[in-house]
Structure 1
Amino acid sequence: MAEQRVTLLQGGLVVDGSAAPGQPGDVLLVGERIAAVAAPGRIPAQLLAGDVEVIDCSGKVVAPGFIDVHTHDDAAAIEKADMLPKLSQGVTTVIVGNCGISLAPVVTDAPAAPLSLLGSGQFRHASMRAYAAAVDAARPGVNVAALLGHTALRMRHMPVLDRPANEAERAAMAADMQEAMDAGALGLSSGIFYEEAYAADVPELVAVATVAARNGGVYATHIRDELAGILPALQEAALTARQSGLPLVISHHKCAGPANWGRTRETLPLIEALARGQEMAMDVYPYTAGSTVLREDLVDGVIDILITGSKTHPEMGGRYLKDIAAQWGLSQQEAARRLKPGNACYFQMREDDVDRVITHPLSMIGSDGLPHDERPHPRLWGAFPRVLASYWRERGLLQLEQAIHKMSGMSARRFRIGERGLLAAGFMADVVVFDPKTVRDGATFEAPRQFSEGIEKVWVNGVLSYTGEARAAVARAGRFVRRGQGMPPSV
């Protein structure tokens, strides 16, 4: 048997992901697991016998590897397997299959929107088990955990999408849901915001979600309306989860559009009230712009819209819709129609609303980045260091321990990811070391593919996988992570 790697992270500020106060300490990694966490110099000598690599972490923070709970990295984990946009932020696990959009179980050479957000080259996995095998074969730079997408199920089993599923179609979707749960999926996601799933009713969703509930899963949803109808949309999501018996995660909670600005003062109390009767949480990204497919109904002539890609006019990528419309002598909606199909960033939130959501005790961090965009939203490369730089160090809206908890321990618990999210003996050795004085995002809307600063070293399953000095992935040690094995304690 090959000798296990032994690494001692010595003398850093250990912030363990539980939200407990950080303490100076040492962390010992043996093979793929954390062997010990102790005060400086207090790790038992017998654990330090043999060849030990000692890394001085003085002045640095040692934390659990971050868990990106909202990604669209389904295909990127196979096609762009170094996963550098995530590793370079300190992310060690990504959750794919969000917003109802997943690779499995759709097989096609020409995915329609919104599945096209995942690119076009990997729609060849007819089951979650096949997708998991493809991830393991690719050996990505980060771990991958997966939700099964409701929209993907509709597009596989329904000849038309402008109505609720009938009994036979619900049964077919439920069978795929059971297969996915047997393969280790975390649960179900939906995106009834999108036209392809908008006709789905609560009974359709419950028919599929109940299968996830029987198997210990979760339900994450891009709700029907994040604009004027946001309150009833939140109620609908809670009802679906309640009738299914599932914990609920509201995806990228926001109040979108100028008429909605300030309404987190209404939505967050509603979420709190609902959470008193059912398990509920939300994810959020630290930006005032979202990013998705180009849609005329999101073009209001007020907010700025940055075109990130256009199949019909690729030369317009990186320009604002209002400038393109003026050049063409068209209204912004007419210009958007001419540019479709395409993707865009929508500057549709206000900063105080984003602040309220990020600092809320029920929120955790997800990037929602789109790795196949020609000019991706900067959140793909910068979301997690941005939280540390802006919300903790510069503005003081979060304590360091709170920020890390929202990116690790809370995320693992809410999504039933076992043995990760905490620095604790016996847990998997997913670890990030960063400089608290310099950590910050580098990606911008003008230059989105930029490395973050201050992320010094990242271990995935005990393997040193990224160094800030090299600004490169130095190893790929990720794997498909299955639901619930070795569940973390309540944190």
Structure 2
Amino acid sequence: MKHPAMDSMASEASRETEAILLEKGRIVDGSGEESWIGDVLIVGDRIQAVGLDLRNELPSGVKKDRVGFVNCEGLVVAPGFIDAHTHDDAIVLHHPAYLAKVSQGITTVITGNCGISLVPYKTEVAQASLTLLGPGSFAYPTMAAYREAVTEAKPSLNVAALVGHTTLRYAVMDDLERAATAEERIRMAQLLDECLADGAHGLSSGLFYAEAMPAPASEVTALAHVVARHGGVYATHMRTEMDAILEAMHEASDCAFEAGIPLIISHHKCAGPSQWGRSKETLPLIDRLAERQQLAFDVYPYVAGSTVLREDLVDGVIDVMLTWSDPHPECAGRLLSDIAADWNVDQKTACLRLQPGGASYFQMNEEDVARIVSHPRAMIGSDGLPHDRHPHPRLWGTFPRVFSHYWRERKLFSLEQAVHKMTGLTARNFRIEERGVLRGGAYADICIFDSSRIADIATYADPERLSVGVVAVYVNGQLTYEEGGKILASRGRMLTRGNSSRQK
């Protein structure tokens, strides 16, 4: 259903204007505070003012006949959403329109998560967990080279990058099945220092993956001290989210605490039927740890996760859906149990035959997910894998699903709290300046949506479907997306730490 505001947005986008005035919308400013009916004035790439009846109180220098007036009555006007956890490092270069994300209202993606980043590593053949970023993408030995590539690609949204611990290991080590030597730690620290000096927002780790699992906590802590010198953050896919999850949480928090930097726990979950209900233990531990250090986490609103195909995650109890397979691409989208039955083998054998590949693992319990997503420290991150042939629906539906399922249906939090989890909270935790809020002087990343309609449509069976209810998206002051799948502009920027508001 087309909203009347779209006509006025399209008409203003088609003519030269000095400013755009979004009028009479429900202002949800990203702070978590109560919303109100008001106006937002955009001049250039910034928000000039947020207030009441701005049509009659235009700032000096803004001519009324050069203002595009957009009636947002009945709609929410919010900051553009920040995806706290992505693997979008390469997709923003190869497919810069990136409809899957902008159509959800996302205006900034945090890349380089789970220890896996494009930078600083150059290779023609990606291996193991690096394949999450797609084939043939590792061509950027420095953050400067990657930034230049983003600038040239002109993606439809902004990019803020983390540096992956696993990628650093690949860059300096000839054998990843051991701890790094003293000399290798020094070289990793040098590479990380260079990336941070050139604007990376921090370090990520993926100790869950085989290439990083042999690394002791001391190896990560040494790198965390480098991050501290630059004022960055540490995000981690912990060593485990299963039986030893509490121990893994202590390990992660100690690394960040010793270095004196903020910790972000990636895609917090209690994985596997034996762990269901343990969010009643993990969330209180997070609150206790947060008394001594800055700590937050991201979460996606689904009961299935998605990663590379691994036989140790196949237990014969949970459903496993294949998302891609090099030797058997025809099996994408099918349940592993059905494939195994057709081949007359057990599921682990089928898993081995399908590798290398990826899968969605139905590991979580809905009540754990609900408890985690409603926690005040929870940010929203999609963790989508854009290169999967049959992706998890979170790639296309994460942010609208939070509104439709957890706000509108389950009423777990207020609209203002939902928006805060996607905007101001994320900007603060990742130290992204002048984004994630609606206020004068901030950059004009804005999502306009219909709170009564916004919903995810993507499913596990049909995952590449546009969400509904996101009426329009502005990125750096430019109308970028209109509901229905139309990309109108590509004005995204590389956001650098300490200078997050402009392209370096």
Per-residue CA deviation, residues 147-183 of structure 1 (Å, 9 max, x unaligned), is 0000000011011011111111011111111111111
The question of whether the paired residues in 2 share the 8 Å contact of 1:26 and 1:43 is answered with no
- The amino acid that maps onto 1:198 is M
Q: Which moved more, 1:385-394 or 1:27-36?
A: 385-394
Q: Decide whether the 8 Å contact of 2:263 with 2:296 is kept in 1.
A: yes
Q: CA deviation at 1:485?
A: 3.1
Q: Which residue does the alignment assign to 1:229?
A: 244
Describe how 1:270-285 pairs up with structure 2 within 5 A: 270-285=285-300
Q: TM-score, with normalisation over the residues of structure 1?
A: 0.97
Give the equivalent residue in structure 1 for 2:8.
none
1:4, 1:30 within 8 Å by CA — same for their partners in 2? no
1:476: which partner in 2?
A: 490
The alignment partner of 2:379 has SS state of strand
Look up the match of 1:338.
353
Distance 1:37 1:444 in 2: 37
> Secondary structure of 1:277's partner?
coil
Q: Which position in structure 1 is the counterpart of 2:13? A: none
1:37–1:43: 8 Å Cα contact kept in structure 2? no
Q: Does 1:196 align with 2:211?
A: yes
| 1:199-278 correspondence runs (5 A) | 199-278=214-293
Segments of structure 1 that go 5 or more residues without pairing to the other structure are none
- Structure 2 counterparts to residues 73-112 of structure 1, below 5 A: 73-112=88-127
Q: CA deviation digits over 1:208-251, x for unaligned, max 9?
A: 11111110000000000001110100000001111111100000
User: What code does the residue aligned with 1:61 have?
Assistant: V
> Partner of 2:139 in structure 1?
124
Matching residue within 395, 420, 441 for 1:380 = 395
| Residue 23 of structure 2, aligned match among 2, 6, 10 | 10
Aligned partner of 1:22 among 31, 35, 38:
35
Match in the other structure for 1:149: 164
Deviation at 1:121, TM superposition (A): 2.5
User: 2:194 matched to which residue of 1?
Assistant: 179
Match of 1:485 in 2: 499
- For 2:215 and 2:53, locate their aligned partners in 1 and report how far apart those are by CA, in whole Å: 56
Instruction: State which drifts further: 94-103 or 200-209.
Output: 200-209
- After superposition, the Cα gap between the structure-2 partners of 1:4 and 1:33, relative to the gap in structure 1 and judged at 3 Å, is farther
Is the 1:36–1:43 Cα contact (8 Å) retained in structure 2? Answer: no
The two structures, once aligned, show a CA RMSD in angstroms of: 1.3
1:136 to 147, 151, 158: 151
Q: Please state how far the C-alpha of 1:21 moved relative to its aligned partner.
A: 0.4
Shift of 1:338: 0.7
Partner SS for 1:406: helix
Native 8 Å contact 2:21 2:55 kept in 1:
no
User: How far off is 1:486 after superposition?
Assistant: 7.0
User: How many Å apart are 1:40 and its aligned residue?
Assistant: 3.5
Write the distance in 1 (CA, Å) between the matches of 2:112 and 2:448. Answer: 28
Q: Which amino acid in the other structure matches residue 447 of structure 1?
A: D
2:426 is the counterpart of 1:411? yes
- CA distance in structure 1 between the aligned counterparts of 2:168 and 2:256, rounded to whole angstroms: 18
* Paired letter, 1:248: L
* Partner Cα separation in structure 2 for residue 208 and residue 45 of structure 1: 50
Offset, 1:48: 5.1
Shift of 1:41: 4.4
Distance 1:429 1:12 in 2: 15
| CA shift for structure 1 position 130 | 0.8
Q: Between the two proteins, what is the percent identity of the paired residues?
A: 54
In structure 2, what is the Cα distance between the partners aligned to 1:394 and 1:236?
Answer: 36
Distance, in Å, in 1 between the alignment partners of 2:436 and 2:270 is: 29
Q: Is the 8 A contact 2:17 2:68 kept in 1?
A: no
> What is the Cα deviation at residue 403 of structure 1?
0.3
The Cα shift of 1:380 comes to 0.4
Contact 2:126 2:136 in 1 (8 A): no
CA distance in 1, matches of 2:441, 2:17: 15
- Number of corresponding residues: 485
Per-residue deviation at 1:410?
A: 0.3
* Equivalent residue, structure 1, for 2:415: 400
* Contact 1:363-1:406 within 8 A present in 2 as well: yes
Label 1:43 to 1:292 Cα distance change in 2 as closer, same or farther (>3 A): farther
1:433 alignment partner, SS class: strand
Q: 1:466 to 1:293 in 2, by over 3 A?
A: same
